Structure 1
Amino acid sequence: MADTTTTSPDENYLMKVKGYVRTQKGLILAAEIFISLIILICYAASYFGGYFVLALSEMIISTAFFVIFMMELDKQVLVVNWIWTDLFRAGLAACLYLITSLIAVIGGSGDGARITGGVFGLIAGLLFAYDTYTIYLQAKTTRQQTAAPGDARV
């Protein structure tokens, strides 16, 4: 008789995805991936399709960080400081989304897809800025916890 209590690797992976999306960081990364996909579609439908490169690159990078954090590879690969790398990623994405979206909204007269992509880009800029803030708080608490107690007599 076959053993029905074992789970397949696909089910195990799906359980990891579901479990990670329920965390705050997982939810933020999933939202970043989803809104980048929406912006990618809007900019691709626009007359000026060059703006979609930012949305595509941020969607790919956010997906990579989602997989890294979900599979807990950040705890195995200790060569990279993942907190600061993630902080840099989110901060740069927030700045680039806000700048690109303002350009798209201001100069997008007559192109509804470009304006829509710009509005979603402003929302994505705020989402990435919130992610930057949460990562900064995490880095601040991590630094305070790992700081060695100093001698006050020095």
Structure 2
Amino acid sequence: MADTDASPGANCLENLKSYVKTKKGFILAAEILISFIVIICFAASVCGGYSAVAICEMIFAIIFFVVFMMQLDKQIQVVNWVWSDLIRAAIGAGLYIITSLIWIARGSGDGACIAGGVFGLIAGLLFAYDTYTIFLQIKSARQQASTDDRV
């Protein structure tokens, strides 16, 4: 064991700070935050059964945030992390948009349910933007690979 002055948590905190400053890190952090806001809105409303979408999507976003922040995607290569992230974001966008429209339509008289629906629509758009950025990343990687094959 080597003597170091830094605590083990300091490296994780530095990774967290530097990863949140990246585009992908900021998007994942925003997904976690907006999902948490939706969970709070549904905890205050009478239609709390719909909070399962927000809970699941927040947990998946946290998992991918930790994997990418700690660069575990480079160590665990059994899973194709980029495609898994694309599927996660696409399903999240679809589920948030569909359920948010239901929440807004049924939420008459329940302000917290309508607020959860509006934040859910924002979350759906954020997840859709994440899907788009991942798709562009895959597309550029494929173009680069085809250019490398020609050389």
Q: Same fold (TM over 0.5)?
A: yes
Q: Which amino acid aligns with 2:40?
A: I
* Matching residue's letter, 2:118: V
Per the normalisation by structure 1, the TM-score is 0.92
1:120 corresponds to: 119
CA distance in 1, matches of 2:72, 2:102: 37
Equivalent residues, number = 148
| TM superposition shift of 1:107 | 1.1
Distance 1:72 1:13 in 2: 11
TM-score under structure 2 normalisation?
0.94
1:145 alignment counterpart: 144
Give the match for residue 100 of structure 2: 101
Q: Which moved more, 1:76-85 or 1:26-35?
A: 76-85
For 2:54 and 2:92, the matched residues in 1 are separated by 9
Q: CA deviation at 1:13?
A: 0.8
Which structure: larger Rg?
1
- Per-residue CA deviation, residues 74-113 of structure 1 (Å, 9 max, x unaligned), is 1111111111110000000000000000000011101111
In structure 2, list runs of 5 or more residues that go unmatched: none
CA, structure 1 residues 146+104, in 2 after alignment: closer, same or farther (shift >3 Å)?
A: same
CA distance in 1, matches of 2:144, 2:78: 20
What secondary structure does 1:132 align onto? Answer: helix
Q: What's the Cα RMSD here?
A: 1.5
Cα separation, 2, equivalents of 1:6 and 1:108: 55
- Residue 66 of structure 1 is matched in structure 2 by 65
How much does 1:149 deviate?
2.5
CA distance in 2, matches of 1:30, 1:18: 11
Aligned-partner Cα distance in 2 for 1:85–1:30: 18
* Match of residue 91 from structure 2: 92
Q: Residues of 2 paired with 1:101 and 1:133: CA distance? A: 20
Which sections of structure 1, spanning at least 5 residues, go unmatched?
none
Q: Which moved more, 1:94-103 or 1:5-14?
A: 5-14
